[in-house]
Structure 1
């Protein structure tokens, strides 16, 4: 009998392949997206961590304004937290008017920041050089001669290209940082042997801490540990800035003083000669001594003015492209918590409905089996096996396909970085969650309906449930409209409200899929609007010119307006509570007059404009959120090597980057130092790439101009390329789910109403009239689902984008009208496709069999 009953189970599947496959597909799609997207964030992080471990990326790079000596290296090595410290040389070279390169020293046995050889071989002699792979775009090839202008720090000028490389110091494949030479942008980097440099002091010391081993890159635990190690290192270098200054100027001062004493002795001897006896030669010698002495005194005066050394500690987040990569990963991980979860919820809901209706339809069979003496367990086994097969097949296949495809596909879409080797993480916990959800949808619904039905007596089960009585609907009370409807239309509208459960479930299913698609389009719009909104609603200037002297006047016919301001990179942290730091751009305009033409300081709710006062600073919205700050909150700001306390006087809207605004008077109040504007915020006529580069070159030729940057055009993707690829997946899978859900709901609807539809056909309705009889209901439910789906999509989009705000990014919460149109059109298209399939299915109804089977 068990064998016979198993055959009955298999027959149930084979007789309703469409229904079984649709259940498997719904669960599979939900599991595929849920497991695949949830695994993407960890897989991206694992791939990066593997790459950095493989190339031994340093935890920190140290530099100094006066160079780094063996004594500096010794201080670093004496730190008990330091495992490896490697010094290296570096020079920035303006190779031509349009080309700037950074040349680093290469050591064959380097333990840190190991290069990845793409082609050729590493330098073997002092005249060989390897270039960044980005230099290939400039036409460089292996075997070519490479000429550099005479450069302080390098022994030679002529080299031969022997290879192309990638460096773990540059995660981005397009950006190489900024400089005060050429156009202000570094074009590429290069490496020559360490022996090719003639620098006494090192430019950099790469550091690897021994307590970061085992901590994954980009995680909070890793960042906190490096921050602690940096603070320890800074304490050890507390006295070094003054000592280093003394080391630099003491020998030079001693040499100057010695030369002055020698000149004084010579002058004393010569001045002892009486005026009358001084020959022209003696007089000339005395004058030369006086001139030389004056020059030496001036040199001594300038030397004494030499400032103390400034030591800079740059962790991995300052590496070009590093933070963008992890911000992208975190944004994807944040979205993965919500969107796939809601996707899976819709899949579970529809599956639950389908299974429960299937069992409800088999009431007579269940009653018959009970009457024949079958136990409840044996009767239940058929539906449990059916549910287990559907649930396990859908969730396991979907989970495995999602794990093996989506993370790797998204990793491949991140084309703006040099990470080439994908290392996946198998998400056991997410796969188990998907299987659990799939079994709740199938096995859970079977269990609930079986428990309810098996409590009834066999005679009650074999008796069909009485059909629901028709009721007057609200539309009937609108007589002018109701009287204009024909009989078929009236029946359709009455049926809608007669079976309220079916109506609600259909609307919820359609609304869920429409909402998912709209949320996907909304995510795309928010990602695409990030940079444009930042530079239309908030920042209205195009570039920043950094100056060596605040009194310098810059001029160019392409500059339409400029504003003096102090622009510095500072570190902001809360004065109490959880320790967290943020790198922030501090902007202190010289005057607040016409400031709104350069920066709009608008409240996050767009209610009013904040004004700079002499009593506090204004923070941007995301920074305030990260610091848990509001008006009146006290924060700690580290400016250079000095930490000061500031009061928050306002919070303003901002989308990309952290900014802090204050007045010159408040700056002087908190720091006790004189305010000096370091930069000019500039507005330009022309913003095309060639025009910007020409302006940069012209400005850098002017005396005292250190750097020119264009914030809008150098901000690349702000960590959103991966999000864009995820959005395409969201929209595509949401559309697929919508098609399957519509088909499944329509299929269940027809199977439940087979006797009703057969009766209609027997009464003489044509095939098109029978199709219209069903399709009319579907059209109304589809339109209602679309409208409700828009509401779900807006709420889901807002929730997702708020969760996706990582790093210094605050996404604009916008959905453009094409998103509403496309999500609606796709839903309507799928409804039409299902309508065509339904038409042919209704044409082939066996009326007598359907009527007798009931």
Structure 2
């Protein structure tokens, strides 16, 4: 008997399996659309979160291998004999010193002077901290003074290789240097020349040289001007920084800073922080929407199987068997989506990592998918699918077979709110039928609209980035930076350089500036930054608010960027302590004269004369902004190449070109990613909604056809409901997208780069048009299905 029961059980299972395969094929369009929605959620998790984890892993490994320092400080000059005193600071595990200077590079084929950051290397060993990784060539020979190793990005941009040579102006003297190696370093994973906002690899590079050759060239034989330390585990970082500042102050220390403020690390960490937010927020949104749609669609889909469930129960199938069978619908959709999402996510993740390789030197950076991440994405998707199917299955299996075989009782017919308000009288008969059907199932209509609204919101999240970047470009490069060329000096020079620059070829206007390193304090909050002193009546470089309004420089006081004001917990009218880190190094109280929202860096601004009074130095400048005749710029570049004091020349036009080329391309990739996924979600909701509505109302619609309604009229009734759902979803999606975009902007803010919160009207309309296009495509497919209704079967239907 047990054997017979086992055979019967296996036959029942086999029958259910055949039914499952048959139903999956019959509903292949709906199953595929559900699988694609699941795939978008899983793909987003695997792509974004996987990229973040891969970047973190590569960063940690690189930092450990190169012994990346924890604290840095620059100073004027200190003897090597000071190093043991630095090493003896409590909490310092390792300390290292070196010589580092900016110099002008005279590169063939480049009119403008290029810049090089020269960094010394030990004679007999590798650096204790901040080592370099040689990718081609060899290490420098201390016995050969003109050998250098150059940074890889600079070498690639200029087409330089070991065995080539280049000319540099080192401390006013031209020297021909032999390239013996190409290297990368964690200190320069992201290299930006002074005075610029973005990397300019063809104009700026890092050059490593033996300390025996570089030290004497700058009168640094037996001395150093940079120090960095590695902290022991559990050390109080702020205490070490304070003690290091005390040790270096007699030697002109410019203020020690932690790794988080090291320029290259700050850029990399800012990108990682943004990636972490995107890798958490976007997958949460996509996976949440996918789970919501699974719950919505599978619940309605299984409700349409009410008759089949009754027949199975009538033939003796237990509730658990029937429940497992219909849960398999959800599992098939999720597993198919998981396969598509995993493969697509890995491919997209590799593409994302390839994009990051263009910006950051992280050796061994490869996309790696962790099993835990895949399990998490699958678990969330399965939970959503099961929860969506379970409620409908439980409701269906509770009905007695005889009752379940009957159609559901018709909904109560009574005028809805809009009809009572008289709206129905304004509509044709088909319009009133559509309106009544929507009003009879308001909860179902609302949740269907909510699903489409999320696709609209996701489109807005992606598209608004274009608006923000375009606004940033307009402000930064057309209203703030209005100069043709900015010139920075190796060190502060006499203000008389203003007149020297004015006499150069093609120069029509000169405005000087001073950059003064400072530590700003307010209570127990402090921040090392730079006060940018500018001419109060200047027109080439201005302070502009987010609304495009020019903010005048006050005669007294300091203007802070909004991010800096938040860090210091100050507002307009508060007082700060400004500890100058150069010159006479005095501390003065200074009033916050204003706070402006900017998008690049963390800076303070002052009137140039007021900054002179604050520093106690009245005759020095750090650089100048120049207006130059267009046809004279090449000649001016050649003249500036011959000026030893010039550290670099930057052109806002070239920065803008680089900015638009690199950033726009990457944003285009991200936006395309979001647009594609949002379209899948829109199609998934609208198509499934229409197909399920067709299944639910198939008899009704076919009866209308038999009664003489044309195909177009019947299609209008069915697809009109989906049109109403879509029209309700669009403004709802605009509202959700507006809020999500704000949260995204707030979470993506870093000290180096902020996206303006600007959403253009066209973004809302583009999001709406893409959603409508997805709805039209879905309607076309459903219309074909509707046209193939079997009217004979309907005529044979018995109620």
TM-score of the pair, normalised by structure 1: 0.77
1:758 positional shift: 2.1
Work out whether 1:387 is the aligned partner of 2:398.
Answer: no
* Structure 1 position 748, deviation (Å): 1.6
Residue 273 of structure 2 corresponds to: 330
User: Equivalent residues in 2 for 1:63-78 (5 A)?
Assistant: 63-66=74-77, 68-78=78-88
Task: Note if 1:852 corresponds to 2:797.
Answer: yes
Task: Specify which of 321, 324, 330 is matched with residue 378 of structure 1.
Answer: 321
From 183, 196, 218, the counterpart of 1:165: 183
Farther-moved stretch of structure 1 (32-41 vs 453-462): 453-462
CA separation of 1:51/1:545 partners in 2, compared to 1, >3 Å: closer, same or farther?
A: closer
Q: Partners of 1:317 and 1:186 in 2: how far apart? A: 26
Whether the 8 Å contact between 1:391 and 1:443 is mirrored in structure 2 is: no
The answer on whether the counterparts of 2:113 and 2:640 sit within 8 Å (CA) in structure 1 is no
Q: Which residue, 459, 474, 482 being the options, matches 1:517?
A: 459
Unmatched tracts of structure 2, length 5 or more: 1-7, 107-111
* Corresponding position of 1:82: 92
- Give 2:109's aligned residue: none
Does residue 110 in structure 1 map to residue 51 in structure 2?
no
Deviation at 1:564, TM superposition (A): 5.1
Of residues 16, 40, 46, the one that matches 1:8 is: 16
Q: Say if 1:153 and 1:197, in contact at 8 Å, map to a contact too.
A: no
In the alignment, is the contact (CA less than 8 A) between 1:132 and 1:166 conserved in 2? yes
Q: Is the 8 A contact 2:150 2:208 kept in 1?
A: yes
What is the 5 A alignment of 1:301-700?
309-310=252-253, 313=256, 316=259, 321-370=264-313, 374-391=317-334, 394=337, 396-397=338-339, 400-401=342-343, 404-414=346-356, 415-424=358-367, 426=369, 431=374, 433-472=376-415, 482=425, 485=428, 487-536=429-478, 540=482, 543=486, 548-554=493-499, 555-556=502-503, 558-563=506-511, 565-576=513-524, 581-589=526-534, 592=536, 594=537, 598-600=541-543, 602=545, 612=554, 614=556, 616-640=557-581, 644-662=588-606, 673=616, 678-679=621-622, 682=625, 684-685=627-628, 695=636, 698=639
CA–CA distance in structure 2, aligned partners of residues 162 and 421 of structure 1? 23
Q: 1:798 to 1:36 in 2, by over 3 A?
A: same
Aligned to 1:244: none
> What are the residue-to-residue correspondences of 1:45-64 with 2, within 5 Å?
45-64=56-75
2:498 counterpart SS class: coil
**1:572-620: per-residue Cα shift (whole Å, max 9, x none)?**
35423xx5x5443313456x4x468843465x68899677364x53322
Inter-partner Cα distance in structure 2 for 1:735 and 1:401? 19
CA contact (8 A) 1:588 1:663 kept: yes
Q: 1:118 to 1:101 in 2, by over 3 A?
A: same
Which residue does 1:22 correspond to in 2? 33
Give the TM-score normalised by structure 2. 0.82
User: Is this contact kept in 1: 2:475–2:548, CA < 8 A?
Assistant: no
Equivalence for 1:261:
none
Pick one of 230, 244, 247 that aligns with 2:241.
230
Give, in angstroms, the shift of residue 352 of structure 1: 0.7
1:355 and 1:484 mapped to 2: Cα distance?
33
CA contact (8 A) 1:565 1:677 kept: no
**Structure 1 residues 171-197: Cα deviation after superposition (integer angstroms, max 9, x where no partner):** 136x45469xxx999633334445545
- Give a deviation string over 1:218-276, Cα, whole Å, max 9, x none: xxxxxx965543323223335x43xxxxxxxxxxxxxxxxxxxxxxxxxxxxxxxxxxx
Q: How far off is 1:469 after superposition?
A: 3.6
Report the CA distance between 1:521 and its aligned residue. Answer: 0.5
Question: 1:196 and 1:656 mapped to 2: Cα distance?
Answer: 37
When residues 693 and 795 of structure 1 are mapped into structure 2, their CA distance, relative to the original with a 3 A threshold, is farther
Identify the residue that residue 135 of structure 1 maps to in structure 2: 155
Secondary structure, aligned partner of 1:188: strand
Question: 2:704 matched to 1:763?
Answer: no
2 CA distance for matches of 1:149 and 1:552?
20
Structure 1 alignment gaps of length 5 or more: 214-223, 242-308
Change (3 A) 1:694 1:471: farther
Structure 1 SS opposite 2:44: helix
SS at match of 2:188: coil
Three-state SS of the structure 2 residue aligned to 1:113 is: coil
User: Equivalent residues in 2 for 1:183-222 (5 A)?
Assistant: 187-197=204-214, 199=216, 200-205=221-226, 207-211=228-232
Q: Structure 1 residues 5, 755: closer, same or farther in 2, change over 3 A?
A: farther
> Which of the two has higher C-alpha Rg?
1
Give the 3-state SS of the residue equivalent to 2:275 in structure 1: helix
| Larger mean Cα displacement after TM superposition, 517-526 or 635-644 | 635-644
Q: Which residue of the partner structure matches residue 217 of structure 1?
A: none
Change (3 A) 1:813 1:705: same
1:325 CA drift (Å): 2.3
Conserved in 1, the CA contact under 8 Å of 2:72 and 2:229?
Answer: no
Which of 777, 780, 793 in structure 2 is aligned with 1:833? 777
Structure 1 position 727 matched with structure 2 position 727: no
Change (3 A) 1:69 1:479: closer
Cα displacement (A) at 1:110: 0.4
- Residues 46 and 423, structure 1, Cα contact 8 Å, conserved in 2: no
Quote the Cα distance in structure 1 between the aligned partners of 2:313 and 2:159: 83
CA contact (8 A) 1:212 1:226 kept: no
1:129-184 superposed Cα distances (whole Å, 9 cap, x missing partner): 44333235445444345566786899xx56544443333332136x45469xxx99
Closer/same/farther in 2, CA of residues 72 and 691 from structure 1, 3 Å limit: farther
CA distance in 1, matches of 2:309, 2:156: 74
TM superposition shift of 1:802: 1.8
Aligned with 2:604: secondary structure? Answer: strand
Shift of 1:691: 6.4
Counterparts of 1:94 and 1:346, CA distance in 2 = 55
Instruction: Check whether the contact 1:570–1:638 (CA below 8 A) recurs between aligned residues.
Output: yes
Conserved 8 A contact 1:43-1:407: no
* Aligned equivalent of 1:258: none
The total of aligned residue pairs comes to: 757
Q: Provide the secondary structure at the position in 2 that maps to 1:438.
A: helix
3-state DSSP class of the match of 2:183?
strand
Counterparts of 1:101 and 1:448 in 2: how far apart (Å)? 67
TM-superposed CA distance for 1:354, in Å, is: 1.3
**1:382-417 deviations in whole A, cap 9, x for unaligned?**
2334334444554x5466447634443222112223
Superposed CA RMSD in Å reads 4.2
Aligned position for 1:260: none
CA offset digits 1:403-442 (Å, max 9, x no partner): 6344432221122232352255656665555344323422
Cα distance in 2 between the residues matched to 1:99 and 1:662 = 29
Distance 2:229 2:423 in 1: 82
